[in-house]
Homo-oligomer: A and B are copies of this chain.
Amino acid sequence: MDDAATLQRFETGAALRAACRAGIWDRPTSGLAQGFQQGNIVILPRALADDFLRYCTRNPKPAPILGVSEPGDPSLPTLGADIDIRTDVPRYRVFRDGEPAEILTDLNALWRDDFVTFVLGCSFSFETALLRAAIPVRHIEAGRNVPMYKTNIETQSAGPFGGPMVVSMRPFTPADAIRAIVLSSYLPQAHGAPVHLGDPSAIGIADIATPDFGEAPDIHEGDVPVFWACGVTPQSAIRHARPPIAITHEPGHMLVTDLRADIG
């Protein structure tokens, strides 16, 4: 299936989820079902879910809550009428004792009656808004993944969840940086306004050329680096908490919801 055909086939979140459920799509979701909000997934046993929910509410920039399931219920009716979280994400990452252990394409064998699913906002809808506003996004133009960095900004902890904030970095001309800052402030569910700009060392980043996650940045002469709270932060909090089991999406392989990815 070529790219144009893929884009046409997966015009909606429902179409993409159906393909995941049928086992015919297990690839990244970036650029698919444009206009629909995509989400980071965290699945935890009920015994840890209350702590994690407080962690998210205390850290709304890295972990904006789009939805939370009832314990044991694989549906998320506020995000999409037919969602089955056991099958509707392209790829899952299973953490055991805080470390990645397996990659799966469904959770049928692992599902438990005490699992609670969290869906957290991601930056795709923000990047779509930047491109619609004709603000160049360097890593997209370079065909790379966004660079991400561990910082010295501590998240607000809750129970065993805590640890440093992870940020994504996008460089812009100063004028575009201002527009990007204002635009992102309208999208709190896609991490909202940035947390830092300028000097990377002020937030504990020793070498901007060497990100901790993603790919090396493409910074043009005169660009200002702008740093947003990143959805990788909750995975960092899981490593910090070391729960016996936790399940996330595999990075880039998101749940695509029926929510519109517009202002709000």
Interface residues of A (CB under 8 A from B): 174-175, 177-179, 181-182, 185, 193-199, 202, 222, 224
Contacts and interface: CB of A to CB of B under 8 A. Distances in A.
Given A178-B181, A182-B182, A222 B193 contact: no
Contact of A178 (B197, B199, B202): B197
Contacts of A194: 178
Contacts of A175: 195-196
Most buried by B among A177, A178, A182, A185: A178
Given A178-B181, A198-B198, 19 more contacts: A174-B196, A174-B197, A174-B198, A174-B199, A175-B195, A175-B196, A177-B197, A178-B193, A178-B194, A178-B197, A179-B193, A181-B181, A181-B182, A182-B182, A182-B185, A182-B193, A185-B185, A197-B197, A198-B224
Nearest to A182: B185
A222 B224 CA distance: 15
B174 A202 contact: yes
B196 A222 contact: no
B224 A197 contact: yes
Contacts of A182: 181-182, 185, 193
Contacts of A199: 174, 222
